[in-house]
Structure formats: structure tokens, C-alpha cells
Amino acid sequence: MIALAVPFVVAGFLVARQAFMPPEWQAGLDRYVAHRAASLGEEITVQRVERARKPWKFSRDMSGSVFGDGLYFRPDYTFDGEYVGGSGRRPLPFPPEEVWCVLLERASEEPGAGEATYSVVFVALHQDLYTADWVLHEVVDDLPAAALTESLAALECDVGLEWLSE
């Protein structure tokens, strides 16, 4: 009787453990946010996360710097900010299978330093026949607000755009 119960107890433990673990993409986002906050001397908080309803609309021109830890695809940086330049790796296949749009709020850690600023990053699952990796795409540095609005609308990703008009 005990021998029959052991597999059920183990399976129950594994299911419960998985239910309380953050999604795989969130660990990379958390490391990216911690690195960026430390390197910029700012407090960065995730304000909103929205899954894109049309991830196939995400294209290379929506992506600036790419962060990731996979050994197969070619990011520019690790999630911890180490420059790797993609040497010896395969380019990311587009479009990604899944995209999460993330609204970040940046505030200086110095008292009275001014108002918070906002930015958007994309966490995407890129996959080919052999492997899949989660990477984080920063938005192109000089992307106009109208182009960002169009990109988010194309992806059907509502992260709240009130901050764009500020």
C-alpha cells in the first residue's frame, strides 16, 4: 500500500512546486531588472505585464539590445548585463512563439531627483527545430512614441500607454 502511495506523493509535490515557481521567462526579467537598476543607480519596478495576443507580429525592427543566457541563440548581453556579442551562436528565429510586454517604471534613488520615467521591454520565446530560449528585447533607443504605440497595438498588448503622453 505504501509503495503505491509514494508515486502519488512525489507527483503531488512536483505539481505543487511547479505551481509556486515563477514562469521561466520571469527569472530572466527579474535578473535584467536587478542589473539595470544597479547599473543605472535607479529603482526599477515592473508595473504591468501583458501577454501579446499576436506574438507573430513581433519583428526584428521592434528589437534593440537583446538579453539572454541560452547557449544556442545569439543575444547581445546576458541577463546580468555581460556583453557576449552573440559570437558563435545562431541568430534568433523570427517571429517568436510567445511574447510578453512589460512596462517598467524607473525612478532615481536620490531624493527629489524628479519624476519617474517609463519604458517597455519584450520577453520572447524564440524557437527553432532544435531548441527554444527566452530572451528579453529592449525597445530600439530612438523609437518614437507613435511607433511604440503601433508596435504594441499590432501585438495586441495593452500595457497602458498613458505615460507616453507625459
Per-residue pLDDT reduced to its tens digit, 36-79 = 999 999 999 999 999 999 999 999 999 999 999 988 898 999 99
pLDDT in tens, 97-106: 999 999 999 9
Domain count, the chain: 1
In a domain, 113, yes or no: yes
Residues 6+ apart with CB under 8 A from 142: none
Is 55 part of any domain? yes
**Residue 104, domain member (yes or no):** yes
Whole-angstrom distance, CA of residue 116 vs CA of residue 94 = 33
54 within domain boundaries: yes
* Of 83, 103, 81, 79, nearest in space to 31 by CA: 79
Question: Is the residue at 69 inside a domain?
Answer: yes
Q: Which three cell numbers stand for residue 93?
A: 528565429
Answer whether residue 14 is part of any domain.
no
Whether 92 maps to a domain, the answer reads yes
In tens, the pLDDT along 123-158 reads 999 999 999 999 999 998 888 889 999 999 999 999
Residue 126's domain comprises 23-160
CA separation for the pair 61, 148 (Å, rounded) = 11
The answer to whether residue 11 sits within a structural domain is no
In the chain, where does DSSP find H-type helix? 2-20, 24-40, 145-155
**Closest by Cα among 67, 51, 24 to 155:** 51
